[in-house]
Chain A
Amino acid sequence: MLINNFLVLGAVLFCIGVYGVIVRKNAVLVLMSIELILNSVNINLLAFDRLWAESGNNDGSVFALYIIAVAAAEVGVGLALVLLIFRNRKTIALDDLSEMKG
Chain B
Amino acid sequence: MLLASETAAASGWFLAHAWLIPVIPAVAFFLIIFFGKRLPRGGSEIGIAAMLASLVIASGTAYQWIHLVGSTEHADAVSKTVTWFEIGSLKVGIGSRIDGLAMMLLFLVAFISTLVQIYSTEYVRGDRRYTHFFASLTLFSAGMLTMVLAPNMVQLILGWEIMGLCSFMLIGHWWEERANSEAALKAFWTVRVGDMGLLVGTGVLLALFGNLDISEINTKAAEFSGNHALLAFAAVALFIACIGKSGQFPLHTWLPDAMAGPTPVSSLLHSSTMVVAGVFLVARLYPVFHTGLDINIVGHHFNLIAIIGGITVLIAAGLAFVQNDIKKVLAYSTVSQLGYMMMGLGVGAWMPAVFHIFTHAFFKCCLFLCAGSVAHTGSHHSFDMKKDMGGLRKKMPITFGTWMISTAALCGVPFFSGFFSKDEIIDSAKGNDYKVFFVVGLIGAFMTTAYMTRATYLTFFGKARGGAAHFVGEHEDHSHEEAHDEGHDKADAHGHDDHHAPVVHGKPLSFAPDDSPWQITVPLMILGALALVAGYLNAAPFKIEKFHEWLHSSIGVEVPEAPKFEWLNAVPSILLVAAGFAVSLLICKAVFGEGNSPLKGLTQRNALLGAGHKFLVNKYYLDTLYEKVIVRSIAHPISAAAYWTNQHILDGIVNGVGKGGKKTGELVYKYIDQGLVDGVVNGSGTTATHAGGALQPVQSGKVNLYGALLFGAAAVGALVLVLVNS
Contacts and interface: CB of A to CB of B under 8 A. Distances in A.
- Direct A/B contact, Cβ within 8 angstroms: yes
Interface of A: 18, 21-25, 30, 94-95, 97-98
Contact of A21 (B699, B700, B702, B707): B707
B479 interface: no
Given A95-B699, A98-B701, 4 more contacts: A22-B704, A23-B704, A94-B702, A98-B699
Contacts of A23: 704
Nearest to A25: B701
A6 B702 CA distance: 33
A40 to B, nearest CB: 13
Interface of B: 699-705, 707-708, 711
Overall SS of chain A's interface: helix
B704 A97 contact: no
Nearest to A95: B700
A25 B700 CA distance: 10
A92 B415 CA distance: 99
A74 to B, nearest CB: 16
A98 B711 contact: no
A22 B701 CA distance: 9
Contacts of A24: 704
A30 B702 CA distance: 13
Contacts of B701: 25, 94-95, 98
B711 to A, nearest CB: 5
A30 B705 CA distance: 13
B477 to A, nearest CB: 76
B700 A18 contact: no
Contacts of B703: 94-95, 97-98
Contacts of B704: 21-25, 30, 94-95
A13 to B, nearest CB: 14
A94 B705 CA distance: 11
Contacts of B702: 94-95, 98
B708 A22 contact: yes
Nearest to A34: B707
A97 B703 CA distance: 9
A22 B712 CA distance: 10
Contacts of A25: 701, 704
A18 B699 contact: no
29 contacts: A18-B707, A18-B711, A21-B704, A21-B707, A21-B711, A22-B704, A22-B705, A22-B707, A22-B708, A22-B711, A23-B704, A24-B704, A25-B701, A25-B704, A30-B704, A94-B701, A94-B702, A94-B704, A95-B699, A95-B700, A95-B701, A95-B702, A95-B703, A95-B704, A98-B699, A98-B700, A98-B701, A98-B702, A98-B703
A31 to B, nearest CB: 12
Nearest to B714: A18
Contacts of A21: 704, 707, 711
A76 to B, nearest CB: 20
Contacts of A98: 699-703
Nearest to B697: A95
A23 B707 CA distance: 9
A52 B703 CA distance: 39
Nearest to A17: B711
A46 B708 CA distance: 28
Nearest to A27: B703
A22 B702 CA distance: 10
A30 B708 CA distance: 13
A23 B704 CA distance: 7
A18 B715 CA distance: 11
Contacts of B707: 18, 21-22
Nearest to A97: B703
Contacts of B708: 22
A94 B707 CA distance: 12
Nearest to B703: A94
A21 B708 CA distance: 8
Contacts of B699: 95, 98
B512 to A, nearest CB: 77
A21 B703 CA distance: 9
Nearest to B707: A21
Contacts of B711: 18, 21-22
Nearest to B711: A18
A98 B703 CA distance: 7
Contacts of A18: 707, 711
Nearest to A14: B711
B690 to A, nearest CB: 11
B23 to A, nearest CB: 54
Contacts of B700: 95, 98
Q: A22, A24, A30: which has the most chain B beta carbons within 10 Å?
A: A22
